[in-house]
Amino acid sequence: MSQPHLASPARGIGLLLAALSFFVSLDSTAKYLAGHLPVPMLVWARYTVHCLLMVILLAPSMGTQLIATRRLGLQVLRAFCLVLVTLLTMSAFRIMPIAEATAILFVSPLLVTLAAGRLLGERVDRVRWIAVLCGFFGVLLIARPGGSLPLQGVALAASAAVCFAAYQLLTRILSPTEQPLTTLFYTASVGSLASTAALPWVWELPSLTLADGLLVLSLGIYGGVGHFLLIRAFREAPASTLSPIMYAQLGLATLAGWLVFDQWPDLPALTGIGIIAGAGVMIALQARRDHRQEALRRLPPSARI
C-alpha cells in the first residue's frame, strides 16, 4: 500500500526556485540564439522538444488520460496564447535587455487583477488598485521617453504581457476541472503543431553549428522541465505561499543579463523593476490574506476561538 504524499512548503519553495532558474535559462538561451537565428524556429524547437519529452516520459503510464479534457476549445485557446507569449517575448529579447523585457512581462498579474474583476466577478479592493497603479508607474520608468530602450522592443514585451494575462485567466478558468499534466500537454502539443504549420512560411534554412543545435534543443528541455518543476512545487506548497516568490525571477533575469550579456539596468529602470516586483508581491499577499479570511468565515463560530 502506497504511503500518502506529505506536502512540504520548504520543498515547494525549492522546486519553485529551480523552475524559475530553468525559465531564466530558457530566456537567456533564446536571447543569445535570437541574435543570429530566426525566432519562429526557436519557438518551434521550444514546443516540439517539450511535446516529445511528454510523449516519451508520460504517455506510456498515463495513456489517454494525458489528452482527456472536458474543455478542448479553452485548452487550445490557452495554449495558443502562450505560443504568442513565447514568440513576442523572444522577439523582444532580440532587441532589448532581458531584465527590462522580463519586468514588462511581469505586468501580466496586474492586468489579470483588473480583468478578473469584470470577467470572473472578483473583488478589486483599494490595495489592489494601488498595486496596479504602482506597477504601471514602474513600466513607465522602464520605458520612459528619452530612455535607451527601443520602442519596438517595449511594444513587443507589452503585447506579450497582454497575451500572458489572457493565458493566466484561462488557466484559472480551467484549473478546477482539468488535470495539470493534461493542460501542460495541450500547451506543448498545440505549440508544436502551430509552430510546425508556420515553418514553411518563416523558415530561413540557417546553417547551425553543433553548439547552436544543442542550444536550440535545450529550449524545449528548459521549458518542459521548468513547467514540470512548477507543477510539483504547487503540489508541495499552496499558491498563497509560492505566488510572492515568483517575482524572484525578476532578480534572476537581472543577474543573468549582467553575467551573460553584460547588460545592467540604469537606475530608473532598476527602480521600475523593483516597483513592479513590489506591486506583484503586494497583490499576492493580499490574495493570501483574503484566502485566510474566507477560510475563517467558513469555520463554525466555536472553531474561531
pTM here is: 0.88
Domain residues for the domain of 293 are 15-304
Whether residue 3 is contained in a domain is answered as: no
Whether residue 148 is contained in a domain is answered as: yes
Look at residue 123 in the predicted model and tell me its pLDDT. 72
Q: Is the pLDDT assigned to residue 295 strictly greater than 80? A: no
CB 193 within 8 Å of CB 25 = no
Whether residue 290 is contained in a domain is answered as: yes
pLDDT band at 296 (very low <50, low <70, confident <90, very high): low
- Write out the H or E segment, with its range, that includes residue 167: helix 151-174
CA distances from residue 207 to 156, 196, 203, 204, 213 in whole angstroms, order as listed = 27, 19, 12, 9, 10
Identify the CA nearest to 139 among candidates 104, 102, 108, 99: 104
Whether residue 1 is contained in a domain is answered as: no
Structural domain count of the chain: 1
Identify the CA nearest to 7 among candidates 243, 238, 289: 238
Q: Once rounded to an integer, what is the mean pLDDT over residues 249-258?
A: 94
Q: Is the pLDDT assigned to residue 8 strictly greater than 50? A: yes
Express each pLDDT in 127-182 by its tens digit: 888 988 999 999 999 988 777 889 999 999 999 999 999 998 898 888 888 888 89
CA distances from residue 19 to 22, 33, 179, 227 in whole angstroms, order as listed = 5, 21, 19, 7
220 vs 278: CA distance, rounded Å: 31
pLDDT band at 297 (very low <50, low <70, confident <90, very high): low
Q: Is the pLDDT assigned to residue 262 strictly greater than 50? A: yes
Pick 23 or 147 by higher pLDDT: 23
Identify the CA nearest to 37 among candidates 100, 85, 99, 91: 91
Transcribe 27-89 into DSSP letters: HHHHHHHHTTS-HHHHHHHHHHHHHHHHHHHHHHHHGGGGT--S-HHHHHHHHHHHHHHHHHH
Query: Who's near 232: CB < 8 A, 6+ residues apart?
Result: 12, 15
Whether residue 7 is contained in a domain is answered as: no
Whether residue 10 is contained in a domain is answered as: no
Look at residue 284 in the predicted model and tell me its pLDDT. 84
Look at residue 2 in the predicted model and tell me its pLDDT. 46
226 vs 27: CA distance, rounded Å: 12
> What grid cell was written down for 232?
510539483
Whether residue 5 is contained in a domain is answered as: no
Whether residue 4 is contained in a domain is answered as: no
Look at residue 126 in the predicted model and tell me its pLDDT. 85
How many percent of the chain have pLDDT more than 90? 53
172 vs 114: CA distance, rounded Å: 14
What's the one-letter identity of residue 244? P
Pick 81 or 115 by higher pLDDT: 81
Burial of 266 (0-12, 13-18, 19+ CB in 10 A): middle
Query: 3-class DSSP state for residue 177?
Result: coil
66 vs 59: CA distance, rounded Å: 7
Q: Is the pLDDT assigned to residue 41 strictly greater than 50? A: yes
